[in-house]
Structure 1
Amino acid sequence: MKRAVLAIVLACAVLTYGGVSLFVVAFSVYPMALSLFKQADLPRRFIPAALAFGSVTFTMTSAGSPEIQNWIPIEYLKTSPYAGWEVSLVVAVVMAVFGYWWLKRLISKAVKNGERFISREKDPVVTENQSLPNPLLSLLPLVVVLIISFALHKPLQQSALIVALLSGIIVTYIVNRKHFKGFWNAASEGTLGALIAIGNTAAVVGFGGVAKAVPAFGVAVDAMTHIPGSPLIGGAIAVSVIAGMTGSASGGQAIALPILAPHYLDAGVNPEALHRVVAISSGVLDSLPHNGYVVTTINSICGETHKDAYGSVAAMTVIVPLVGLVLAIILFSFGLGI
Structure 2
Amino acid sequence: MIVTLNGSTTKDEVSRLCNQIENLDLSATLLSHRNDIALVLDGAITSDKVNSIRNWPQVAATEEIHSPYKKASKQWHPEDSIIEVGNIKIGGGHFAMIGGPCSIETYNQLEKTAAYVKESGGNALRGGAFKPRTSPYSFQGLGKDGLDMMHEIGQKYDMPIVSEVMAISQIELFEDVDMFQVGARNMQNFDLLKELGKTNKPILLKRGLSATIQEWLMSAEYIMSEGNENVILCERGIRTFETETRNTQDLSAIAVVKQLSHLPVVIDPSHAAGRRDIIESLSLAAVAAGADGLIIETHPEPERASSDGEQSLYPEQYRELTEKVWKLHQFMKQINTKN
Q: TM class by shorter-chain length?
A: under 0.3
* TM superposition score normalised by structure 2: 0.26
Q: Which has the higher contact order (CA 8 A, sep 6+)?
A: 1
Higher share in helix: 1
Structure with greater proportional strand content: 2
Give the greater-gyration-radius structure (CA). Answer: 2
TM-score with structure 1 setting the length: 0.26
